[in-house]
Amino acid sequence: MTRSTIKPEPLRLWRVEVTDEGLRLHLSAHWNVTQITVEDDSGSRQEWQYDQIRFVLPYEGARDGVETWLAAQETRILLIAKTLWEAKHNAPTLTADESKQLADYVTQERIRTAMHPLAGAGEEIKALREEIKALRQLAGGTATSDFQRLDDFAEQIVAASVLSK
């Protein structure tokens, strides 16, 4: 763990690098921040102890939008940072809730990138329905009556959207 006399922000932007592909954001992420008392020859003092990782993140927007984007994406970026820390240290750092949240982000991204920008709700429901069925099959579970009822309802919406086109 890192120690400092200054309480760290969850994300710190160290540098913005301009490249041919856009901008590269040099960041550090900090979590598990706790205040501790340190005793030494000078007496006692308060310090901050935390986990951290430094990494580079690509960014395709304008330079003046970086801070706003970082604030809006802070939770997602911290999850990415913790995942990088886990890979680097071969040790878990994500909580169970964070692991679920990360899985939700991955599923949302898969659905978003699989959809054409003009896709309607029917196509989105169809893609989501297929993802859920695939996950259920991987888990080896059987469909509950509630799941089957909702799946039938989703199928009706998808069929109605196909007919309306």
- pLDDT-derived band at 45 (thresholds 50, 70, 90) equals very high
What is the structure's pLDDT at 125? 65
Cβ neighbours, 10 Å, residue 14: 11
Q: Which residue has the higher pLDDT, 144 or 23?
A: 23
Q: 106 vs 30, which has greater pLDDT?
A: 30
The first and second tokens of residue 12, run together, are 């710190």
Q: In the numeric block, which tokens belong to residue 161? A: 């959207």
Residue 48 has pLDDT above 90, yes or no: yes
Q: Which residues contact 109 (CB under 8 A, 6 or more apart)?
A: none
Q: Is 122 helix (H, G, I), strand (E, B) or coil?
A: helix
pLDDT grade for 165, boundaries at 50, 70 and 90: low
pLDDT at position 141, please?
Answer: 64
Closest CA to 81 of 23, 12, 34, 6: 12
Q: What pLDDT is stored for residue 95 in this prediction?
A: 82
